[in-house]
Structure 1
Amino acid sequence: MRLASYNVENLFNRAKAMNLEGWAEGRPVLESFARLNQMLGEPIYTDQDKAQMVKLLTELGLSKSDKGPFVILRQNRGSLVKRPKAGGLEIVANGRTEWVGSLELIEAPVDLEAMRNTARVMIDLQADVLAVVEAESRPALRDFNTEIIGALGGPLYRHVMLIDGNDTRGIDVGLMTAEGYPIGQMRSHVDDVSANGEPIFSRDCAQFQIPLPSGKQKDKQLIVLVNHLKSKGFGSLAASAKKRLAQAERIKVIYQELVAQGEAYIAVVGDFNDTPDSAPLEPLLKGTELKDAFVHPAFDDGGYPGTFDTCKAANKIDYLLLSPALFATVTAGGVWRKGMWPGSKPKRWDVYPQLDKKENAGSDHAAVWVDLDL
Structure 2
Amino acid sequence: MQIKVGTFNLNNLFSRFNFAGAIDRPPSVSDGGITLTFDENSVQVRTFMGRLVKEKDPEDTVTIARRIVEALDVDVLGVQEVEHREILRQFNRDYLGGAYDEIALIEGNDPRLIDVGLLSRLPVGAITSYQTATHPAEPGKRVFGRDLVRIEILGPDHEPLLAVYNTHMKSHYVPFHMDPVAGAAEANERRRRQAEAIGAIIAATEGPDSRFVLLGDMNDPPASPFLAPMLAFAGGTLVNGLTEAQETRPAKPETPGQGPGPASVNWTHRFNPPGPEFPQYEQYDQIWLSPALAPHLAGAFIDRRTRHGGDGSDHDPAWVVLDL
Q: CA separation in 2, counterparts of 1:225 and 1:198?
A: 21
- How far residue 258 of structure 1 moved from its aligned partner, in angstroms, is 2.6
* 1:373 alignment partner in structure 2: 323
Residues 1:293 and 2:295 aligned together? no
Asked if structure 1 preserves the Cα contact closer than 8 Å seen for 2:105 and 2:118, the reply is: yes
Query: TM-score, normalising length from structure 2?
Result: 0.74
Q: Which residue of 2 aligns with 1:2?
A: 4
Residues in 2 aligned to 1:293 and 1:3: alpha-carbon distance in whole angstroms:
11
Residues 130 and 149, structure 2, Cα contact 8 Å, conserved in 1: yes
Change (3 A) 1:313 1:293: farther
Identity score, percent: 31
Tell me if 1:318 matches 2:285.
yes
2:129 to 188, 200, 220: 188
Superposition pairs of residues 251-330 of structure 1, within 5 angstroms: 251-260=198-207, 264-285=210-231, 289-296=237-244, 299-301=245-247, 304-309=265-270, 314-330=281-297
Aligned-partner Cα distance in 1 for 2:231–2:200: 13
**Aligned pair 1:71/2:47, yes or no?**
yes
Matched, 1:111 2:57: yes
- Secondary structure, counterpart of 1:243 in structure 2: helix
The structure where strand makes up a greater share of residues is 2
Q: 8 Å contact 1:210–1:222 — kept in the other structure?
A: yes
Q: For residues 315 and 162 of structure 1, what CA distance do their matches in structure 2 show? A: 27
| Structure with the higher fraction of residues in helix conformation | 1
AA aligned to 2:300 is G
Deviations 1:94-133, CA, capped at 9 Å, x for gaps: xxxxxxxxx9963112222111001111112111110001
Write the deviation string for residues 183-229 of structure 1: whole angstroms up to 9, x where unpaired: 11011101111232110101000110112336xxx843311110000
**Is the partner of 1:2 in helix, strand or coil?**
strand
Aligned position for 1:223: 163
Please state if 1:138 is matched with 2:85.
Answer: yes
Which residue type is aligned with residue 284 of structure 1? M
1:335 and 1:366 in contact (8 A); partners too: yes
1:341 Cα deviation from its structure 2 partner: 4.9
1:233 aligned partner: 173
Secondary structure of residue in 2 paired with 1:108: coil
Distance in 1 between residues matched to 2:281 and 2:303, nearest whole Å: 18
The structure with more radius of gyration: 1
Per the alignment, in what secondary structure is the counterpart of residue 185 of structure 1? strand
User: Matches of 1:149 and 1:158 in 2, distance apart?
Assistant: 11
Gaps of 5+ in 1: 17-66, 73-102, 344-357
Q: TM-score, normalised by structure 1?
A: 0.65
Whole-Å separation in 2 of the counterparts to 1:341 and 1:237:
30
Q: Counterparts of 1:186 and 1:286 in 2: how far apart (Å)?
A: 23
Number of residue-to-residue matches in the alignment:
265
Give the letter for the 2:196 counterpart: E
SS at match of 2:11: coil
- Aligned-pair RMSD on alpha carbons? 2.9
